[in-house]
Amino acid sequence: MFEEIRDRFSEDLKSVQSLQELNNLKVKYLGKKGIITAQLKSLSTLSPSERQVVGKLINNIKLFIENEIASKELFLKDAELQNLLKAEYIDITLPGKYTSYGSEHPLNIVLNEVIDIFIRMGFNVEEGPEVELDYYNFEALNIPKDHPARDMQDTFYISEDIILRTHTSPVQIRGMLKRKPPVRFIAPGKVYRCDADISHTPMFHQVEGLMIDENITFSNLKGILVAFIHMMFGEEIPVRFRPSFFPFTEPSAEVDMGCILCKGTGCRVCKQSGWLEILGAGMVHPAVLENVGYDTEKYNGFAFGMGIERIAMLKYQIDDIRLFFENDIRFLRQF
Ligand code: PHE
């Protein structure tokens, strides 16, 4: 009879597929109303000597059943884990998604280099609006309405009095109105002129420079600009000043440096002259200082302005200014 129970259990166990079913089986045999429990209870109806023999047999089967269930439980738990591992498998060997790196725009590289050099020489950085009043862009700079000098800069008009600034020089006026002399700052930024060909774009960048103090001379201007050109392009580069005209400076000069491409022997870029024009400069006109209320008996100074695109084109030997703004990745990746 006990063998029968044992065989039946073994049959039952074979068909168990899950932990839930295993638990049901456990209840069926070992639970409060289980088959084995019932057998153990019935021991009390036996005589003491029978009880010893039968009790031992039942206990053996109980142990057997407990062992079988324990090992089946281990097996089922392991199978469950394997299934989980299979279901939640992530293939970490797949290649990741490619993200390309950006790089600094060549104009920003050059702009930051220029700013760094002037900061080292003690200049502050000043900014002003790109949409500007005619007054700051022209009038305060000694360029009255209908003055022929306005033709030098093709202006975008927003209204009678409001324009897109044609140069960074209006920042001179705003900067001087904001503070008392001495002043020493540069003003980098975007400027706009109605012009477009391989060396002109309607928007481009300038860096303005201004220094006002007592006893500033043309030598100070020369010293600063020669030092700048040497730091930017190399100690060996020759620099020359040519007389020129700007309404807001007197005397005015155009500053050339020796052609960095042909080393002065003459090439297409320098139009066979051996020189490249890179700056406009001069001693600030007293009329400009008067417009901002500075005492012209006591203070004077110099100003200069340069185009960043031109410097970047020379530095990287770029022959078409429009490349800067087309955003062609093949161009931009080269810097
Ligand atoms: N503002 C002038 C221009 O854009 C450059 C300049 C600046 C010249 C300061 C002299 C002094 O052409």
Ligand 1, atom 6, lies closest to the CA of 305
CA dihedral sign of residues 123, 129, 131, 137: negative
Residue with tokens 């060396």: 199
Contacts of 60 (CB under 8 A, 6+ apart): none
Ligand 1, atom 4, lies closest to the CA of 167
308 Cα: distance to centroid of ligand 1 (angstroms): 13
Ligand 1, atom 7, lies closest to the CA of 305
CA dihedral sign of residues 153, 158, 161, 167: negative
306 Cα: distance to centroid of ligand 1 (angstroms): 7
170-185 b/e with 16+ CB inside 10 Å = b?
bbbbbbbeeeebebbb
Does the N-terminal peptide bond of residue 247 adopt cis geometry, omega within 30 degrees of 0?
no
**Residue to probe by mutation, ligand 1, list 132, 136, 167, most atoms within 8 Å of CB:** 167
13 Cα: distance to centroid of ligand 1 (angstroms): 98
248 Cα: distance to centroid of ligand 1 (angstroms): 8
Side chain identity at residue 220, one-letter code = N
Domain ranges (residues) in the chain: 2-87, 106-332
Which stretches of 234-307 are DSSP H helices? 286-291
**Residue to probe by mutation, ligand 1, list 132, 241, 246, most atoms within 8 Å of CB:** 246
CATH topology for 106-332 is BirA Bifunctional Protein; domain 2 (3.30.930)
User: Residues lining ligand 1, CB < 6 A?
Assistant: 167, 169, 208, 246, 249, 280-282, 303-305
Going residue by residue through the chain (335 aa), what tens digit of pLDDT does each one get? 778 888 898 999 999 999 999 999 999 999 999 999 988 888 888 888 888 888 898 899 999 999 999 999 999 999 999 999 999 998 888 888 888 888 899 999 999 999 999 999 999 999 999 999 999 999 999 999 888 777 777 899 999 899 999 999 999 999 999 999 999 999 999 999 999 988 899 999 999 999 999 999 999 999 999 999 999 999 999 999 999 999 999 999 999 999 998 898 999 888 999 999 999 999 999 999 999 999 999 999 999 999 999 999 999 999 899 999 999 999 999 98
pLDDT score recorded for residue 84: 93
pLDDT score recorded for residue 142: 95
pLDDT score recorded for residue 220: 97
pTM above 0.75, yes or no: no
